[in-house]
A and B are shown apart, each in its own frame.
Chain A
């Protein structure tokens, strides 16, 4: 007699941190230092939550080709039900790019070590994930790197992508002068793994820890997944 056993979901994480300046001098009030430390902290959350594989790309290793390759690899290996966590900590910006009708449109951008990784590129990379894969993006940077902002002109996403951003597209992520303020708020909301609510409640808790001039974003790209949203954050 054959038994069909469903494979348990697998968690994969890619945490990117690019601090162009001396991280020691940028040590913030929590004793952590710069964007690379933020990436390490989020990778630590993933590891603690049982992700099977967590990849860190820091500083000079966080180049455009390596980031794209790691996302592609995760897309290839992820199956329905799996979770992929993608985080970016560093500079963000906006680049004028050519839209579908040939006109110039502003795209958010993650400032990687060797250049920008813009929204359409992030979106294209995420479009390779299969249906019912859960993707969580945490983007801790100024007004950029918000995959989906230009989605109407791009490939449809099959996977459900939940995006948490450090601020709105017209805001700066460093408004109080401390690097990684958003990641700090995320970690404070997470309370060393004791947070027990849903993603929406998680976002509300993060919001409560932020100043009024920096409002973190929360939205879906691709098909929303109510079961995903109802889960405890970082649940594989």
Chain B
């Protein structure tokens, strides 16, 4: 899996959100959620330093506390298919267009058996559905894909983040978000 795009534009700002993404992809200080991917390197058998995973960091308040030190691994073997059509630059009135265009990709990334190339991590959380869920730990799968030339305008690239429940945990929730990546 080619990690070049993630390495060259590691800062992701989230603008579009839907479903449980509206509760998880938020900044606790009320600002626009934003995080940065930090490469984790390992020397291979030839002594060459390789990026093998990404840590996640963010300014205090720009993401919920449970995103701290999330470790994302590159997984999958099938390239992410391009969107059917190029999206307009984000603005709140474009939400229906983003929801419709990203829907098939979000569905594909929600499936347990997806083979799409992505970064993936596990996010622990307690959710506020009910008295039981407030006490019951659940773990979400966080998956991110990078779409090149998906958006018209100055920044044509888009990162899509999909949250879905991890096998073995019973609380059900799913959600998604997306936003532009940019260089450090």
Contact = CB atoms under 8 A, between A and B. Distances in A.
Nearest to A105: B96
B18 interface: yes
A31 interface: no
Interface residues of B, number: 33
Given A94-B18, A111-B110, A175 B130 contact: yes
A96 B17 CA distance: 10
- The binding surface of chain B is classed by DSSP as mixed
Interface string A1-32: 00000000000000000001110011000000
Interface string B142-184: 0000000000000000000000111110111111000000000
Interface string A114-143: 111000000000000000000000000010
Contact of B93 (A20, A97, A104, A112): A104
* Best-buried of A95, A112, A211 by chain B (most CB within 10 Å): A95
Contacts of A93: 18-19, 174-175
Interface residues of A, number: 31
B2 to A, nearest CB: 26
A176 interface: yes
B130 A104 contact: no
B96 A116 contact: no
Contacts of A114: 104, 107-108
A115 B104 contact: yes
Contacts of B111: 20, 113
A72 interface: no
B49 interface: no
A115 B129 contact: no
Contacts of B108: 114
A154 interface: no
Given A113-B107, A174-B171, A213-B130, A97 B112 contact: no
Interface string B91-118: 0110110011001101110111000000
Interface of B: 18-19, 92-93, 95-96, 99-100, 103-104, 106-108, 110-112, 129-133, 136, 164-168, 170-175
